[in-house]
Amino acid sequence: MANENPATYSNSAQILKEIYGGVNMISQQRRRSYDLFTKSKRPLAGKYWITADHMEGASGAAGTRPDNIELPAAQAEVYQNGKVFDRYHYAGFMYTGPAIRHAKDNVSSFVNLITSEIENKTRWLIDNLNIQTYMDSWGILGLVAASPAESYSGSTESFSVSSCPNPLWIRKGTRVDFYPGTFKSSGTPTKRTAGGSSGAGPASGARGGASIVTWNPSTLAATITVAADPTTIAAGDQIVLEDICGGSGNLAGGGEVGKVSTSVGHYGGGLYGLELMIDGTTNAASYQSIDRSIYTEYQAGVMSNSGTARPLTLDLLQKCMDLIRINSQEEADTIISGLGQRRNLLALGLPDVRFTAESIKLGFVGSLTFNGREWIVDEIAPTGKVYMMKRQDNIHKYESLPMGPLDDDVAPARQRISGFDKYEGYIANYFNLGCDRPNATAKVIDLMEPA
C-alpha cells in the first residue's frame, strides 16, 4: 500500500520545518556555556547594541565644605557608549535528490535521515559556540609547534600543536585556517589557507581551509587534509576556526571587526568571549569599541605570573575576589574554571573543614561554591585559569535571532545546489556577548594543572 504522504521535492520543505521544531529541544537539552549569561533587553540599533556605560565619575562635584564656602562645582557625568556588534553563527546540512526518491514510499526513512543530520549539526554549532564563549573573538585553537612536511596535493599532513587553551577545543572534523603568528596585530592579515568568501563553494569543491582528520588530545598531535594547497605553514602559526576572521582572511574586507583605530587595535569576528572581556590590554587594546588605555574602568583585573605556572592557593583566590571589589566596588558572584582547577580547589579545601565546598551539584556542568560564590565547572574552560566576575546584571547575551532554521516563511528551508542533485539548508543563531562593567571581572592565570 502506497504511503499517503510520500516524501517528494514539494513537501520536503514542510517536513523540514516540522523537524526544525526539534532544534529548540536539542538546544535546550545540550549544555550551553553561553547561556550562563542572561539575555539583554536592550534593542538592536542597526548592526550593534549600544550601551551607555558610566566610565569616569565627576568626582569634583562632591565634597565637604565649612560654613560660608562656595559649593562644589556642578559637573556632568562622563559617559562612553559601548558597541556590541552582532555575530552570525551557522551550521549547514545537506541531502540528495535520490534520498527523497528512495523515500517516496517510506516517508519515515526520509524523516529519520534528515532528523539525524539536523540534530548532529545543531550539536556541532552549540559546541562551537560553547568554545567561543571562552575565546578572545579570534577563534584561536593553538599554535603550530613544528612545520608539517607540506606535500599536500590532497594528502594528509601531520604536525603537533602547542599553546592549546584546551585540548577539547579541537576534534576530528573541525575546520580550521592557518595565520601567521602575528596576525592579531595586523588589520589585514592574510591566511595561509585560501577560499571562503572568495567565491569557492560546494560546486567547485575548493572551499579552502583544512579539516582535522585525526587529533590526539593527550599528545596534541594532529593531521589535516586540505582542498587546495596553502602557502607555507610555519612553526608559530596560529590555528584558527575556519573563516571566523573573514573568508579572504582580510579583516577589513570581512565585515565589522570592532576596530577603534589602527593605533588602538581591533578584534576578530567571533564572540566577545571571556578572554576578550576579562582582559587588560593584552588580548585587545579596545573592547566594545572603547579604548581601554583611556577608559581604564574598561580593564578587568588580570593576575598573572609572567608565564610561569604556579599552584592554586586560597590566598590567590581571595586576592582575585578582593581585586574586583577594589576596582569596581562590587562583589563577584560567579567563579568559572575547568576540571583541573576544581581538582586543585578540592585538594586545598577538603583537608580543612573551614573550606569544604558547601555543595557539589551534579548535572549541567557541575558546580560548587567557594566563599559563598557559585563556582561553575566547565570541562571546556581554558586550562590553567580561574575566572571571577559579577555576572548578574553585568554580563549579557545580545541575541537578534534565536537558534533555528535560516528561513523567513517565504523562502524554503533548503535550496538546490546549482549543478548538483543535492539540497542544502542552514541552522543559524545571531548573537554576541557583552559586559557593562569589565572592571567587575578578574582572572587568575598561569596556574598549574594537576597530573
Burial of 2: CB neighbours in 10 Å, binned 0-12, 13-18, 19+: exposed
Could you tell me which residue, 62 or 204, shows the higher pLDDT? 62
**Three-state SS annotation for the chain:** CCCCCCCCCCCHHHHHHHHHHHHHHHHHHCCCHHHHCEECCCCCECCEEEEEEEEECCHHHCCCCCCCCCCCCCCCCEEEEEEEECCEEEEEEEEEHHHHHHCCCCHHHHHHHHHHHHHHHHHHHHHHHHHHCCCCCCCEEEEECCCCCCCCCCCEEEEEEECCCCHHHCCCCCEEEEECCCHHHCCCCCCCCCEHHHCCCCCCCCCECEEEEEEECCCCEEEEEECCCCCCCCCCCEEEECCCCCCCCCHHHCCCCCCCECCCECCCCCCCCHHHHCCCCCCCCEECCEECCCCHHHCCEEECCCCCCECCCHHHHHHHHHHHHHHHCCCCCEEEECHHHHHHHHHHHCCCHHHCCCCCECCCCCEEEECCEEEEECCCCCCCCEEEECCCCCEEEEEEEEEEECCCCCCCCCEECCCCCEEEEEEEEEEEEEECCHHHEEEECCECCCC
- The pLDDT of residue 161: 93
Radius of gyration, alpha carbons of the chain: 25
Cell numbers for 318: 581571595
pLDDT at residue 383 greater than cutoff 70: yes
Question: Which whole number is the average pLDDT over 317-335?
Answer: 95
Whole-number pLDDT of residue 193? 64
Superfamily of structural domain 1-45+79-137+301-451: hypothetical protein PF0899 domain (3.30.2320.10)
Q: Is 205 exposed, middle or buried (0-12, 13-18, 19+ CB in 10 A)?
A: exposed
Of 266-280, 345-359, 409-423, the range with the lowest mean pLDDT is 345-359
Please compute the mean of the pLDDT values over residues 180-196 and round it to a whole number: 67
Asked whether residue 205 carries a pLDDT value surpassing 60, the answer given is no
| pLDDT at residue 405 in the model | 78
CB-facing half-sphere around the CA of 372: CA atoms within 13 A: 5
Which is more confident, 367 or 129? 129
- Asked which of 105-119, 222-236, 351-365 is least confident by mean pLDDT, the reply is 351-365
Domain segments of the chain as ranges: 1-45+79-137+301-451, 139-269
Mean pLDDT of the region 160-165: 93
Among 157-161, 219-223, 256-260, 347-351, top mean pLDDT goes to: 219-223
Q: Which residues pair with 2 in a beta bridge?
A: none
Q: Examine the pLDDT at 7 and tell me if it is beyond 60.
A: no
pLDDT, mean of residues 375-390:
95
Mean pLDDT of 34-63: 80
Which of 12-26, 203-217, 290-304 tops mean pLDDT? 290-304
Distance CA 340, CA 111 (A): 42
Q: Where is average pLDDT lowest: 19-33, 76-90, 115-129, 166-180?
A: 19-33
Q: What would the mean pLDDT of 271-287 be, rounded to a whole number? A: 88
Amino acid identity at 289: S
- How much is the pLDDT for 149? 63
Mean pLDDT for 81-106 is 77
Q: pLDDT > 90: what percent of the chain?
A: 35
pLDDT at 284: 77
* pLDDT above 50: residue 199: no
When pLDDT is cut at 50, 70 and 90, the band that residue 104 belongs to is: low
| Mean pLDDT value of segment 347-357 | 58
pLDDT at 324: 97
User: Among 89-93, 272-276, 322-326, 327-331, which is the least confidently predicted range?
Assistant: 89-93
Asked if the model's pLDDT at residue 364 lies above 50, the reply is no
Q: Sorting pLDDT into bands at 50, 70 and 90, what band is 28?
A: low
Q: Are strands 88-96 and 78-85 parallel, antiparallel or unpaired?
A: unpaired
Measured in whole angstroms, the distance separating CA 361 from the mean position of its chain's CA atoms is 25
